[in-house]
Amino acid sequence: MTKTHIPGIHHVTAISGPPQPNVDFYTGTLQQRLVKKTVNFDDPGTYHLYYGDYAGSPGTILTFFPFADAGPGRAGPGMASAYAYSVPAGQFDGWMESLAEQAIDFEGPVERFGKRVITLRDPDGALVELVETTRTSDDALDGFHSVTLWLRDLAPTAKLLTDVFGYEDRGSENMNGVERLRLAAPGDAKGTVVDLMRSDAPSIGRPGAGTIHHVAFRAEDNDTQLAWREAVASAGHSVTPVIDRQYFNAIYFREPGGVLFEIATDPPGFAHDEPLETLGESLKLPAQYEGIRDRIERVLPPIKSAA
């Protein structure tokens, strides 16, 4: 394999309740762009919404399956429990002031690995972290900083990330009964950090609104993805065949702690079926559902981006 490490996060996919409050929060409060409005390929009566930077770049994409009747979920061991955005240099205090002015509650700031972090909750209670960084950007948020995986045993997952994905150990912290091990991909891509967390707090995870479905990592192209598939399989993990997700190809497997991992290709990207300037404005369907577009559009509730 020519690549020695995975560059970082490609996207994170989560579950929400009704779509409009979700759209309002991510395009309004967090100033993300709705870059794709499509459907759940396994349930075309449900949206699949993608948020990110203007171009929908890898490392900025947060996606949702919004189920109007979804019950509330709860993070626990064996689940990804939070996603964190990078706040560009010099803008952290401005974010706190803006959220306070909008009467949006947040926790913190607290210091984690030498940087300030605040935590807010989206309309379904999902933990959304904003992390102070030294990166510069003209965007409101500079894509992902990290994801947190809540595990019973950190060692097996750490071994996968270091020995297979090529991540590096960046140290550990233990605060208030929460042990946190930080791993990071070399380089300066967006979303290079994965935090592995073990908590003394008793909790049993329950999928539902406000929980993370899976975490996707980047492969720069199809050949690289196949090489990573071979590496993961050789390490003893059961990996799916390549699946066409319209805007990227995907493979999936469960990491040792139980979290669903995906490795997704950068191409073809979100401008594959609509112009960059109008991303997310119209409903895009995979070919197998075009024949029932009228029926799908009657079922899906109208939504409007705040941006």
For residue 229, what are the CA distances in angstroms to 2, 32, 61, 86? Answer: 13, 31, 22, 29
pLDDT of residue 3: 64
Question: What pLDDT shows up at residue 150?
Answer: 97
Q: What is the pLDDT at residue 169?
A: 97
Residue 294: give the domain boundaries: 9-299
pLDDT at 2: 55
Q: Does 267 reside within a domain? A: yes
Question: Rounded distance, CA 75 to CA 221, Å?
Answer: 32
In-domain check, residue 2: no
Integer Cα distance of 125 and 21 in angstroms = 12
User: Within a domain: residue 15?
Assistant: yes
At residue 4, the pLDDT reads 87
The pLDDT of residue 172: 97
DSSP letters spanning 204-232: --B-SBTSEEEEEEEESSHHHHHHHHHHH
What count of Cα atoms within 13 Å lies in the side-chain half-sphere of residue 2? Answer: 8
pLDDT by residue for the chain (307 residues), tens only, comes to 456 899 999 999 999 999 999 999 999 999 999 999 999 988 999 999 999 999 999 999 999 999 988 999 999 999 999 999 999 999 999 999 999 999 999 999 999 999 999 999 999 999 999 999 999 999 999 999 999 999 999 999 999 999 999 999 999 999 888 999 999 999 999 999 999 999 887 888 999 999 999 999 999 999 999 999 999 999 999 999 999 999 999 999 999 999 999 999 999 999 999 999 999 999 999 999 999 999 999 999 999 998 7
> CATH no. for residue 234?
3.10.180.10
Count of structural domains within the chain: 1
Residue 76 lies in a domain: yes
Asked if the structure places residue 304 within a domain, the reply is no
Residue 226 lies in a domain: yes
Residue 59 lies in a domain: yes
**Residues linked to residue 128 through DSSP beta bridges, in sequence order:** 83, 120
Q: Within a domain: residue 18?
A: yes
Q: How far apart are CA 35 and CA 56, in angstroms?
A: 6
> What six digits make up the tokens of 38?
């499509």
